[in-house]
Amino acid sequence: MIGCSYEIFRLHYKKIKGVKRNNTYSVGGLFAGIGGIELGFKQAGFDIKWANEIDVHACKTYQNNFDHTLINKDIRKVDFKKLPKIDILVGGFPCQTFSIAGKKEGFGDKDRGQMFFEVIKAIKVLKPKVIFLENVKGLVIHDKGKTLKTILEILQKEKYYVKYQVLNTKDYTDIPQNRERVFFVGFKNKKQYEKFEFPKKETKHKNFREFLEKDIDSRYIFTENTWQNKFVADDDKSNNLIYQYRYGSLRKTEHVPTIMCGHPKALFILDNNKLRYLTPRELLNYQGFPKSFKFPKDLSDQQKYKQVGNAVTVPLIKKIALQIKKALKDNK
């Protein structure tokens, strides 16, 4: 009887191991920031093995929310030969050099602009089945499309079949943030590449006020002398609008403008008849991070705003990750 029970257990365990081995794919992350891409893939059922990030403050936030290996080091100093091989390599390589709002130096930026080529070095060593890359929309039109062409040609030389698309957070999730980003998904397997499709657009959206916090520290509320209070006329004040001060003018919208790093005072709302900033926690909400995601207690607001602005919209990443999983499972 005991032997029979053991045999049933052995076969059951073997079956479970087989399912896990065939359906769980491993992920390695580059330019991880606070882990938005990794979190999206984790929520989609992927196994995150390791990630790399150079910013020490971002690493503190990352380690406060994940327990897998994080390498706090310049990517140029990472020995990828010593890291576990992974099925999928993900990363949002530095985007400032391709941004419409930046200097648009692109690959000409010897520091940030060259980071794409560090991704290629990692790919040559790790040889993942799938690559997933994210950047600003401006990359698509940078240098009259030459930058995009170069990226695609280099990935094709590494034997990847690549699809790319610009997706807006507010169009593909129920989060009301106007955030356009380009996503690249490349497969070694042509059938998987052909099977993969980007997510479909959402039809329902939440009101931006659904993402606000109830208990707000007084430091986020404007005083009578705060410049925004003087700038916004009484006739312009509405509970249904988000205000953005940019390039010397006031913009009013029902969607959260693209959350940018280092510009916390540019976004504000009317709440309980008073104008106030959006808090770092609220901006995390607009990026789709769950309530369980926490900043370290000793982290400054300046760092929090920077980190959220550099992050990605987690639910959108999860949707793309699920599409990747579907393509992988259906075409082995």
Same domain (yes/no): 176, 33: yes
279: which residues sit within 8 A by CB, 6+ positions away? 213, 216, 217, 220
Same domain (yes/no): 82, 163: yes
274: which residues sit within 8 A by CB, 6+ positions away? 221, 222
Using alpha carbons only, give the angle 131, 136, 140 rounded to the nearest 5 degrees.
85
Same domain (yes/no): 258, 198: no
User: At 250, which CATH number?
Assistant: 3.90.120
Same domain (yes/no): 150, 188: yes
d(C-alpha 64, C-alpha 293), whole Å: 8
- Is residue 19 domain-resident? no
Number of domains into which the chain is organized: 2
Active site residue 95: yes
Q: What is the pLDDT along the chain (332 residues), one digit of tens a residue?
A: 444 443 443 444 333 333 334 468 999 999 999 999 999 999 999 999 999 999 999 999 999 999 999 999 999 999 999 999 999 999 998 865 544 444 545 445 455 557 899 999 999 999 999 999 999 999 999 888 888 999 999 999 999 999 999 999 999 999 999 999 999 999 999 999 999 999 999 878 899 999 999 999 999 999 888 877 777 888 888 999 999 987 778 889 999 999 987 666 788 999 998 999 999 999 999 999 999 999 999 999 999 999 999 999 999 999 999 999 999 986 65
The DSSP 8-state label assigned to residue 65 in this structure reads T
135: which residues sit within 8 A by CB, 6+ positions away? 92, 93, 95, 98, 181, 182, 184
Same domain (yes/no): 195, 140: yes
Q: Report, in this order, helix, strand and coil percent for the chain, each rounded to 5.
A: 45, 20, 35
Q: Which of 4, 59, 95, 261 is catalytic?
A: 95
Same domain (yes/no): 170, 237: no
- Is residue 244 domain-resident? yes
Burial label, 76 (beta-carbon count in 10 A; 0-12, 13-18, 19+): exposed
Same domain (yes/no): 230, 120: no
Range of the domain at 154: 25-202+313-330
Same domain (yes/no): 146, 260: no
- Is residue 18 domain-resident? no
- Is residue 8 domain-resident? no
